[in-house]
Chain A
């Protein structure tokens, strides 16, 4: 059973601080990794995608991938109250046929 694991949280971070979200996956052959943000009652929206080891930065967001450790993370700098949401880690499996989602980490940014 291919799995994607996330800490469910809630993770509480003060406004302006860095929020760090972590994810591990079991399928060593996975090649594509994604972070989605989901507000309550809404469908997920793509935040970041990463395909190779290292860091990828986009504005206040940085995705980090370590395939050897089967670990992917998302850093949010200068956290804003609007960042409060559930963040879903997603991994395309080695067969490339489907994307598997973690259970999500609920992030709360406190003013």
Chain B
């Protein structure tokens, strides 16, 4: 299957700081990438759809000014958690698909802990 790489795998930061997470499609171009958040023992919640060359589409209830998404190239999307607070601690996962109506491939996930 297609390969999606995510970095960093885990990060610990102080409250009030910003954290950037990168998502790369390694063997295909992705005009669209998806960012999910998952709290312990809960399902994946779609946060936003990242669109190459244009603004991201955010799901209802997700603060676009807090979760900044940039999709500057066909292989890279970034999620920046700004002014992080302990309640932002979660498992963030990106995904992409090579196109059409095929399956999503997921990155390894990034576990964020905000102290």
Q: Which of B44, B91, B93, B101 contacts A92 (CB 8 A)?
A: B101
Interface size of A by Cβ–Cβ distance < 8 Å? Answer: 24
| A104 contacts B106, C-beta separation under 8 Å | no
Does the CB pair B34–A98 fall under 8 Å? yes
Measured between beta carbons, the chain B residues less than 8 angstroms from A88 are 43-44
B107 CB contact (under 8 Å) in A43, A101, A102: A43
Binding site for A on B (CB under 8 A): 1, 6, 34, 42-44, 46, 49, 91, 93, 101-109, 111
Interface positions of A (Cβ within 8 A of B): 31-32, 34, 36, 41-46, 49, 51, 88, 90, 92, 96-104
* Chain A residue nearest in CB terms to B46: A98
> Cβ of A49: which chain B residues have Cβ within 8 Å of it?
102-103
In the docked arrangement, what's the CA distance between A49 and B46, Å? 20
Do A34 and B104 have beta carbons less than 8 Å apart?
yes
Q: Which residues of B contact A45 (CB under 8 A)?
A: 106
Query: Cβ of A97: which chain B residues have Cβ within 8 Å of it?
Result: 49
Known A31-B101, A90-B104: A102·B109 in contact at CB below 8 Å: no
Considering the complex, give the chain A residue whose CB is closest to the CB of B111.
A41
Contact B101 A96 (CB under 8 A): yes
Assembly CA distance A90 to B102 (angstroms): 12
Contact across chains for B101 and A44 when beta carbons are under 8 A apart: no
The residue in chain A whose Cβ has the minimal distance to the Cβ of B60 is A1
Since A31-B101, A51-B101 are in contact, a sample of 8 more A-B pairs with Cβ atoms closer than 8 Å, ordered by chain A residue number, is A34-B104, A36-B106, A42-B108, A44-B93, A44-B106, A88-B44, A90-B104, A100-B46
